[in-house]
Amino acid sequence: MRKGIEEKGLDSRNRLLTGAAALGVLAVLLHRALAAHEQVFWLSVLFLGALAVISESLGGDLRGGNSRTTYGIIPLTAAILALNTLSAVLVALCAGVSLRDVRKRRSPWAMAFNGLQYALAVSAASFVYHALGGTTRSFELGKTLRSIPFLLLAMAAFWAVNAALVSLAVHWEHGVRPLYFLRGEALPMLPHQLAYGLLGMALGVIYAQNAFHLVYLEIETGALVEGLAEVKANPSAYAPYVLGSPGEALRGFAASVMYLATLGVAWSFSRRNLELLRAYDRTTEHLCAYLEEREPYLRGHASRVAGYAQLLAARLGMSSYDRKKLRYAALLHDLGKVAVPREILLQKVSLSEEEFLAVQRHALAGSNWLEEIPYLADTAGAVLHHHEYFDGGGYPDGIAGDTIPPAARILAVADAYDAMLNQRPWREAKTPEAAAAELRQNSGVQFDPEMVKLFLEALQEGKAGIAAPPAEAEAATSGAPEDEGRERGWQPEDRERPLRKARMGRRRQQLLEERRKRREAVLKPREAVDEKGERPDDGGGGREAYGEDAPSAAEADAAERPSESGGEED
Amino acid sequence: MEEARLKAARLLSALICAGILIFSLIQVHLSRLDIWRTLGLLAWVAFFEAWQIRYPWGRPVRLGIAVGLCVVAIRPVPEALLIYFAGSVIGRVLSRSGRVRMSDFYYIFQRTIILAVAGLAYALLSQLRWQEVVERVRPGAESESFKEFWVHYPGPENYGPMPNTYCNPVVIHRAIVFPLAFAAMSLVYYALEMVTSSVETGMVKSGSWRVILPHQVRQTWPVYLALGASGGLMALYFPRLPFWNFLIFLFPLMLVRLECNRDQELDRRFLATMRVIGDAADHIRGLPGHSSRVSNLSVEVARSMGLPEDQVRNLRYAAVLHDLGLVTEPAEGPAHARRGAELLEGIPQLRRVAEVIRFHHHEPLTAEEGEERRIPPAARIINVVSAYDHLVSQGERRLSPEEALQELSPERGRRYDSVVLRNLAQVLEKRRRDQEGAPRRERRERARVLEEEEISLEKLFREEGEEEG
């Protein structure tokens, strides 16, 4: 994987690390050249090096927050398989260059760092490969194939060195603890790297099979070749390879082109996926922000909460996959408010019991909606429980401590912090210091203490990068007449309510469980697409049942929420 | 009527395929068949055939084609056809764990026929001038086919005495002719497959195959390129790596499959999230479920009208988000349609969707000059269906489907497109027939469950209040 690059170049400790890596690579190169008498296959290095630069520049899999897997490992594996250590390390140095970084004029230190860490990783891998007995004798195919397990082990060594160096760099740059980084970002990348390694192996086999044109050319140019002495000593045995080589070369090129064409197709699809992911992200954020426009105090709330939640999750070392999900859950968490009658949300005086229960419904409604999106179905719990208190005094279930899903605890902190920083009609916006003090005061009671601590640490280090909330609060105050909507969320004074109110968890769980079972049994989702490509009109499981029963469903809905439809007539 | 034509076409292809297979069976010299190699190839075809690549819309493609093309290039055509057919059948049976349907066989027949034609093309092309080359290198040698030579003599060491240059014409011929012949064969295969698939889609959806063909080609060409390239590589390395070649070149195909399926999954994810947001918007304006209902009904109408699948996709998105503008512009009018479109315009993938939303609301179909305005068909559909749904589902003065249709028809041609109205009527008719067919008990059960849920939640919240109160 490649380290993401900061605008300002590397931290000073990272520059030291780069220097140390440079020394290490130099040592390896000198050792292989002088002590082991290895030769450099210049033409191969050029070819695979160019391929490496192209692969690195293709963008790769942006799974990491702080690092990026790229396709560069494909030519690197081919180099390890087909070339000796010296040449492979040179190819790896080329892989440090990524045309994207060049185009964006990023600091050369960072490219140097990436090149050097790749070089160290490749030398480790090559060492492992040769130590285990892997062969680079290209024309002995049987031996090459039998070396495949060794190659896999070598790729694991590559990953280890790569992950270690990048985690160190990321730790000094971003403050993420190495263990968290390894667990969260590096470990999920291991299967990817091994898989790409297999692809690289195939390229190596193809390349090795038909590389004798290079032997031929290297003889012509007089460059020294490993095994050239052997060729010279036994010309008749090698004559077919040498003399037949232009044809073989053509076949090799044809094969490489076909292979790269297949990989190119895969890459183009992955680019489209990436764009679709980005579009999804922007659209969701944009539309959630739009839905908030009715209530001035809510404006921007979802994005900010998502930002805080991601900050905290990164600090906790959540894997980037889960962080993404959390982001969307955070963006969609307050959708449930539309299920609450607007008058209650507008209410300025304290809520009655019934009204408060109606407000609590927004957690349930929000989580129902999330359940309908298969991708986000497991974060539905986070939204359902995001108003739970750490000591059990929250709603809707009154669960406490670790039974609250971690995502819910994160959301609770983020939601509360943003709510405090923004003005509400019944109180002023708090300053960040006061809000932080409030968080600390309630940690253990309302919030998970560990999370509060990490969150405040992260905020203090100023890595938030989020627009200062007070500016938003300003905008909220400016155009807000008295009768505008307001949100009634948790308040510290709510704690004075008898705690018993929220503890009805078990009965409710039961009812919900039964409901879920009945729903599944009767509203069975249709089967997946068949050969004809006919697909059911889904995107949300059992919803299509409503198509047939439109009248009765609408009736049920209308009967249940008369106040809403009454309240919305404006 | 389309059904009958389709059935006739399928029967015809089944007969032709059976004929070809019987002919192949006669042609194959069972005594000269290497049983292990044949079984091995068959097993690989079966293995690859079990994997599918799904698109976000359109027919899935199976990986068996790659091995099929490879096999046709390395074995005589009759033997190759038998291997492919048997392997495909086995692969399908295994992948669906026994639940094979007639339509599966139909596609296998179709592909076998196309492969036969492609194989013949390859056999012809690869023999081009092969005889001359052999004569030059081995004068008086027994002429052998290019294919046999390819398979039996993999390396330069078998090329016989070299002429006095270092460019052995056998090698060069082999190195150039093989890729070109294979590419030509793949093209023939692809062309035939696209044409047959377009014709079939045309028959099912009452469209012209000439219109459908470009859409299908645009969607499927990258995947078929990958399949063809992998097949070529497998054939190229088969003489040297009889077993490993399939495994090695399976990996890139798996990568393609992974990315494609992810594409489909992302699309679904996107749609599901938009649906939820649309739902929330509906709740805000007090008409819950409107967007979902409009979306379901519009897609049925669009299918009945024969819209191509990418337009149906845009329609789905647009239908789910069409009333989003009403959150800030509560009046139903062109303003809310414009607002909704503005929201989505910034996102390139949803540009078409934004266009559909912009025009969806009750725009007059003809401008003052009397010309037909260029409103996308998807927008016309949403226009009609949304109006229909308003009539059918608003609380108090709710109409039945027939009454609603009658209410809409005076504006036929002016505000509501007549083709859409006609198809809507057809779809509703079909629904009514299906409903009567469906067991009443099941429908009532569903309705009851839904009502019960809502009531039980109400009860729950009230109970809580009582308990604690």
pLDDT at A9: 54
Nearest CB partner across the interface for A564, out of B171, B286, B461: B286
Least CB–CB distance from A276: residue in B54, B349, B449 = B349
Q: Which of B249, B277, B452 sits opposite A287 (nearest CB)?
A: B277
User: What is the spatial distance between Cα B152 and Cα A195, in angstroms, rounded to a whole number?
Assistant: 33
DSSP for residue A493 = G
Contact A533 B268 (CB under 8 A): no
Residues of A in contact with B99 (CB under 8 A): none
B176 neighbourhood in chain A, CB within 8 Å: 250
User: Which residues 293-332 of B are in CB contact (within 8 Å) with A?
Assistant: 293, 295-297, 299-300, 309, 316, 320-321, 324, 327-328, 330
- Render the burial of B103-131: b for 16+ CB within 10 Å, e for the rest: ebbbbbbbbbbbbbbbbebbbebbeeebe
pLDDT at A505: 53
User: Which among B265, B263, B288, B285 is positioned nearest to B275, based on CA atoms?
Assistant: B288
pLDDT one-digit tens code per residue, A293-323: 877 777 888 999 999 999 899 888 787 788 8
Residue A552 has pLDDT above 50, yes or no: no
pLDDT value, residue A119: 94
**B283 inside 8 A of chain A by CB:** yes
Whether the predicted pLDDT of A23 surpasses 50: yes
Q: How confident is the prediction for chain A on average, in pLDDT?
A: 71
Structural tokens at position A506: 């078990």
The more confidently predicted of residues A225 and A449 is A449
Say if CB A311 and CB A463 are below 8 A apart: yes
Shortest CA distance to B175 belongs to which of A257, A254, A243?
Answer: A254
- Closest chain A CA to residue B401: A551
Pairing relationship of beta strands B61-62 and B52-53 according to DSSP bridges? antiparallel
Instruction: With CB atoms and an 8 Å threshold, state whether A254 touches B236.
Output: yes
pLDDT, one tens digit per residue, over A51-104 is: 889 888 876 655 555 566 778 888 899 888 877 788 899 999 998 888 877 887
Q: Between A291, A364, A546, which is nearest B277 by CB?
A: A291
Q: Does B454 reach chain A within 8 Å, measured CB to CB?
A: yes
**Which residue from B240, B299, B457 is facing A141, i.e. has the nearest CB?**
B240
Query: How many angstroms away from the CA of A451 is the closest CA of chain B?
Result: 29
Structure tokens at A196: 């790409």
Higher pLDDT, A13 or B302: B302
For an interface test with A, the pick among B276, B391, B442 (most A C-beta atoms closer than 10 Å) comes out as B276
Torsion of the alpha carbons at B330, B332, B335 and B338, rounded to the nearest 10: 100
Q: State the sign of the Cα–Cα–Cα–Cα dihedral B209, B213, B219, B223.
A: positive
- Give A116-165 pLDDT, tens digit per residue: 999 999 999 999 998 888 766 545 556 667 778 888 899 999 999 998 88
Distance, in angstroms, between A306 CA and closest chain B CA? 16
User: Cβ–Cβ of B328/A294 closer than 8 Å?
Assistant: yes
Compute the nearest-CA separation of A59 from chain B (Å): 15
Instruction: State the pLDDT at residue A234.
Output: 59
Q: Cβ of B272 under 8 Å from any chain A Cβ?
A: yes
Give the three-state DSSP class for B21.
helix
Q: What DSSP line would sit under B154-211, residue for residue?
A: -SGGGS-S--SSS--HHHHHHHHHHHHHHHHHHHHHHHHHHHHHHHHHHHHHT--HHH
Q: What is the pLDDT of residue B298?
A: 93
The answer to whether the CB of A1 falls within 8 A of the CB of A162 is: yes
Q: Do B449 and A354 touch (CB under 8 A)?
A: no
The per-residue pLDDT for A549 is 27
Nearest to B74 by CA among B104, B44, B109: B44
- Tokens 């068959």 found at: B42
Which amino acid is located at A83 in the chain? L
Chain B residues whose CB is inside 8 A of the A540 CB are 272, 275-276, 292
CB under 8 Å to B22, separation ≥6 — which residues? Answer: none
Mean per-residue pLDDT, A451-477: 57
Task: Kindly report the nearest CA distance between residue A289 and chain B, in angstroms.
Answer: 11
Q: How far is B372 from chain A (nearest CA, A)?
A: 31
pLDDT of residue A120: 93
Tell me the longest C-alpha to C-alpha distance in chain B.
108
Cβ–Cβ of A262/B253 closer than 8 Å? yes
Measured CA distances, A300 to A71, A281, A296, B278 (Å): 37, 15, 9, 19
Work out the burial of residue A19: count CB atoms within 10 Å of its CB; fewer than 13 is exposed, 13-18 middle, 19 or more buried. Answer: middle
Between A191 and A157, whose confidence is greater? A157
CA-nearest of A133, A229, A118 to A163 is: A118
DSSP A2: E
Q: In this complex, do A553 and B289 lie within 8 Å of one another by their Cβ atoms?
A: yes
Section A360-383 average pLDDT: 86
The continuous run of DSSP H or E covering A67 comes out as strand A67-68
Q: Is the peptide bond before A432 cis (omega within 30 degrees of 0)?
A: no
In 3D space, the residue among A297, A356, A329, A348 whose CA is nearest the CA of residue A477 turns out to be A297
Name the residue facing B229 among A261, A284, A522 (closest C-beta).
A261
Q: Evaluate whether A508 touches A516 at the Cβ level (below 8 Å).
A: no
SS3 labels along A71-96 = CCHHHHHHHHHHCCHHHHHHHHHHCC
Q: Any chain A CB within 8 A of the CB of B199?
A: no
Tell if the CB–CB gap between B270 and A280 is shorter than 8 Å: yes
B175 CB within 8 Å of a chain A CB:
yes
- Chain A residues whose CB is inside 8 A of the B107 CB are 531
Looking at the complex, does the CB of residue B251 fall below 8 Å from at least one CB of chain A? yes
Which helix (H) or strand (E) segment holds residue A68: the answer is strand A67-68
Q: Which residues contact B451 (CB under 8 A, 6 or more apart)?
A: A552, A556
**CB-CB: which of B157, B229, B274 is closest to A262?**
B229
* CB-based contact A266 B232, cutoff 8 Å: no
Q: Would you state the structure tokens that stand for residue A86, as one six-digit string?
A: 């010296």
Please give the residue of chain A at the shortest CA–CA distance from B258. Answer: A266
Which among B222, B283, B452 has CB closest to A338?
Answer: B283
Q: Are B168 and A554 within 8 A, CB to CB?
A: no
pTM: 0.72
Q: What pLDDT, on a 0 to 100 scale, did the predictor assign at position B333?
A: 73
Predicted pLDDT at B189 = 95
Closest CA to B114 of B71, B73, B69: B69
pLDDT number for residue B420 = 85
- Chunked into runs of 10 residues, chain B (469 residues) has average pLDDT values of 75 87 82 82 92 76 92 88 92 78 82 92 83 70 70 59 53 77 93 89 75 84 91 83 79 86 88 91 83 91 82 90 84 82 86 87 57 75 88 73 80 79 87 74 69 62 53
* Nearest of A375, A378, A397, A377 to residue A386 by alpha carbon: A397
Predicted local confidence at residue A537, as pLDDT: 35
> Closest-CA residue in chain B for A270?
B259
The interface residues of chain B toward chain A in range 29-88, judged by CB-CB distance below 8 A, are: 54, 57-60
* A533-546 mean pLDDT: 31
How far apart, in whole angstroms, are the C-alpha atoms of residue B164 and residue B167? 9
SS3 state of residue B355: helix
Minimal CA separation from A246 to chain B, in Å: 7
Chain B residues whose beta carbon lies within 8 Å of the beta carbon of residue A245: 166
Tell me how far apart the alpha carbons of residues B28 and A414 are, in angstroms, rounded to a whole number.
73
The alpha-carbon gap from B23 to the nearest alpha carbon of chain A, in Å, equals 28
Single-letter code of the amino acid located at B285: R
Length of chain B: 469
State the count of interchain CB pairs (< 8 A) between A and B.
325
Q: Please, which pLDDT band fits residue A186 given cuts at 50, 70 and 90? A: confident
Asked if B7 and B103 count as a contact pair (C-beta separation under 8 A), the reply is: no
Of A293, A529, A540, the CB nearest to B328: A293
Q: Which residue of A has its CA nearest to B105?
A: A531
Name the H helices within A227-319.
228-233, 235-243, 245-291, 301-316
Cα-based distances in Å from A326 to A332, A421, B171: 10, 21, 59
Interface confidence: ipTM more than 0.85: no
Give A195's contacts in chain B (Cβ within 8 Å). Answer: 251, 255
Q: Is residue A348 within 8 Å of A425, Cβ to Cβ?
A: yes
Distance between CA atoms of B181 and B175, rounded to whole angstroms? 11
Residue linked to tokens 């992950």? A163
- Is B443 within 8 Å of A549 when comparing Cβ atoms? yes
How far is Cα A3 from Cα A100, in angstroms, rounded to an integer?
Answer: 13
